[in-house]
Structure 1
Amino acid sequence: MNEEKTYEKVKGEMRLSERILAELPGFRGYKEKEIRRESDKMIRNHLYRKLNQAKEDLRRVFQKLSDYRRYEFLTDMDRLMARIDRIAEKINHASYGYTGFFDAVKVEEPDLDRMIKFDAELLDDVEEIVKASSAFKADIEASKFDAAKKHIEKVGGLIETLEKTFDERREAILGVK
């Protein structure tokens, strides 16, 4: 999902009255910021849903490993599931785009565009996690238990990449580097 396409989709879904008001002097900038904020929120919700999909695959892997008494993998699986849960919740509860007057951190318009670019990277990272989790589940369902360690390491590395990108995004918002 391209950030420009998301932005244009939200903008295209404006009601006629909103489009007319968007042309009024001074109102357009406000509405543009709201559209960017809504785009940011849509992307974050999508990321969260996809991570939950990957978490469900990992939960099924954990259950299958447990059912087959492959206890040597359960500690690593438990840690992996905790990590994916932590980043999913971090994304779910992140500040949305253009903040209100009383929010602690003000996210201005140029910063919001940078956030959307970070979110595009996050979309790619999350898609890789979903694919890797699905492949892991397929191998375990096919009783390919020897591949478990490799899959745990791969998904763990992808989660680490996602966390790093997300933290860089947060640092960019806060102006910290």
Structure 2
Amino acid sequence: RRETDRLIRDYLLSRIQPAYRDFKNAMKAIALSGDQTLATEYNEVQAIFDRVISKLKTMSYGYTGFFDLVKVEEQQLDKMIEFDWNLVSTAERIQEKARNVAKSDPGKLREALDDLKNELLSLEDTLISRENIIKGVGEK
């Protein structure tokens, strides 16, 4: 189970990081548009992307070492794996939406950015919920 947990998160990163690169390809079009609000929106989405990637890189693996501060029980690990499998479809949607941003016409760029932003925020919320499961927050 613990190895599965790590493999799922590695897979998520393998989807999110290329999506981030696709997203960054839109920066030139945004800069050329001269639209400051669009540039601001782009920067907001980039910040969310950065947070999500950071969370994916640093979240607990479900591995419990002898000196770990947070001990992950098998039951919690099962919940985390279920969360992670659900995250796979979200990561794939993010990849698709990032491609849409990269290839959007200038008139549709704002809508594509909003779609990507909403998907990233949803992923971030799910990652926070996952973290809470590990810590036992909200469990009775």
TM-score by length of 2: 0.92
Q: CA deviation at 1:71?
A: 3.7
Partner of 1:162: 123
Query: Superposition pairs for residues 28-177 of structure 1, below 5 Å?
Result: 36-139=1-104, 144-177=105-138
SS at match of 1:153: helix
Structure number with greater Rg is 1
Instruction: Report the Cα distance in structure 2 between the residues aligned to 1:70 and 1:107, rounded to whole angstroms.
Output: 48
8 Å Cα contact 1:99-1:107 kept in structure 2: yes
Question: More relative contact order in 1 or in 2 (CA 8 Å, sep 6+)?
Answer: 2
SS at match of 2:66: coil
Q: CA deviation at 1:37?
A: 1.4
Instruction: Report the Cα distance in structure 1 between the residues aligned to 2:134 and 2:5, rounded to whole angstroms.
Output: 13
Unaligned runs of 5+ in 2: none
Instruction: Report the Cα distance in structure 2 between the residues aligned to 1:77 and 1:146, rounded to whole angstroms.
Output: 14
Instruction: Output the aligned Cα RMSD.
Output: 1.3
Amino acid at match of 1:109: E
SS at match of 2:26: helix
Query: Superposition pairs for residues 3-18 of structure 1, below 5 Å?
Result: none
- 1:38-77 deviations in whole A, cap 9, x for unaligned? 1111111111121111111111011222134344411110
Amino acid at match of 2:28: Q
8 Å Cα contact 1:44-1:91 kept in structure 2: yes
Instruction: Report the Cα distance in structure 1 between the residues aligned to 2:112 and 2:132, rounded to whole angstroms.
Output: 30
Runs of at least 4 residues of structure 1 off by over 4 A? none
Q: How many residues align?
A: 138
8 Å Cα contact 1:98-1:109 kept in structure 2: no
SS at match of 1:98: coil
TM-score by length of 1: 0.74
Unaligned runs of 5+ in 1: 1-35
Q: CA deviation at 1:123?
A: 0.9
Instruction: Report the Cα distance in structure 2 between the residues aligned to 1:115 and 1:167, rounded to whole angstroms.
Output: 11
Q: CA deviation at 1:168?
A: 1.0
Q: CA deviation at 1:87?
A: 0.7
